[in-house]
Amino acid sequence: MPTPIRCDHKLFDKDLQGQVIIVTGANSGCGLETTRQLYKQGATVILACRNEQRAKNAVEDVSTSCPDSKGKLVYLHLDLSDLSSVRTFEKDFTSQYNRLDVLVNNAGIMACPYGKTKDGFEMQFGCNHLAHFLLFQLMAPILIQTAEDTGKPSRFVSLSSCAASAMIGTGYATIDFDDLNSEEKKYDKGAAYQQSKLCNYLLAVEASKKFASSKLISASVHPGWVLSNLDQHLVPTNFFGDLIRNLFRKLFQFSGDMISAQDGAQSTLFCVLNDAENMESGGFYSQFGVYKDKEAKAGGWPLKLPNPNVADDTASKLWEVSEKLVAES
């Protein structure tokens, strides 16, 4: 049975009072558990979420579970399917805060039916990558300024996946620059998900090149196969679909391949809390996973992402294309 990689508990003793941290998708799953731990250590955590009620429920859950925390929990609205919402979020945040120590691009959707964002992008590419790219682009100046003010590098963590490589039963992820919106071919929701997760990995890679690690440490992570609602679109949403989903969840939990959200948050927390001098900016920090490549299955902090489709210029090309797309939207 696989053993999850977990943080040294000494990292959880660090005092984060005064630090401001944004976590997208903070109301459930790994985002919720990441928020819980950082708040417990005294940070001001901004829950960047689309659904206000779920965010408020998360605030109540976390605050109740950590009654002695000296941190703060603040909800700010963010809808990743609408780039104007990302721009509004940046204005709302900077009107209230002049400091940002960590940005965690955690939110994501998986293998959903074909649909488009408000700006006309395929849903997984638009939400998982493009909106998060714009958010990072808008937040980079305050991240850099905070590093200069504090004398400590800020952090950027991008939630990727083993899907950025290849999972058992799939080919290697690739980015179709000629058809990013999956309009020229039959829609493959799994391949579109893999493309978006490869984008998440490459964003951290390119960010590490554009910003010196003394000012900003960038990393991407694979959280593991986490028991969450992320798999809701893998089978139909009906009685039989729910039955199949629950059966597979129990089987993979029993085998140890599916882990809790607390364990799923470990890779992110490591990248946020680990000493700066021991971090590899641009690195991929992976929980164990269902990789096609046997040598990658155990994971690693960091792990070299096995994907022969990634060329030396893929990250920079993606950055340039993404800049143009968000500028035009």
- Domain at 86, CATH number: 3.40.50.720
How far apart, in Å, are the Cα atoms of 217 and each of 42, 209, 281, 286, 315?
21, 10, 5, 16, 17
55 Cβ neighbours under 8 A, 6+ residues apart: 26, 27, 47, 49, 75
Output the pLDDT for position 258: 79
Residue with tokens 């090149």: 209
- What is the distance between the alpha carbons of residues 259 and 263, in angstroms, rounded to a whole number? 6
Report the number of distinct structural domains present in the chain.
1
- What is the distance between the alpha carbons of residues 214 and 231, in angstroms, rounded to a whole number? 37
First to last CA, the chain: 47
Q: Let me know if 313 is exposed, middle or buried by CB neighbors in 10 A (0-12, 13-18, 19+).
A: exposed
Residue 171 DSSP symbol: -
Range of the domain at 167: 9-327
Q: Is the residue at 71 inside a domain?
A: yes
Q: Is the residue at 23 inside a domain?
A: yes
Q: Is the residue at 4 inside a domain?
A: no
Question: In angstroms, how far is CA 109 from the centroid of its own chain?
Answer: 11
Helix (H, G, I), strand (E, B) or coil at 169: coil
Output the pLDDT for position 169: 78
For helices 314-327 and 189-210, the axis angle rounded to 10 degrees is: 100
**10-residue averages of pLDDT along the chain (329 residues):** 91 99 98 99 99 98 98 99 99 98 98 95 98 99 98 98 89 97 93 98 98 96 80 51 53 63 98 98 96 93 97 98 96
Helix (H, G, I), strand (E, B) or coil at 59: helix
Q: Is the residue at 108 inside a domain?
A: yes
193 carries an active-site annotation: yes
Helix (H, G, I), strand (E, B) or coil at 293: coil
Q: Is the residue at 2 inside a domain?
A: no
Q: Which candidate in 39, 75, 193, 291 is catalytic? A: 193
Q: Is the residue at 53 inside a domain?
A: yes
Q: Is the residue at 3 inside a domain?
A: no
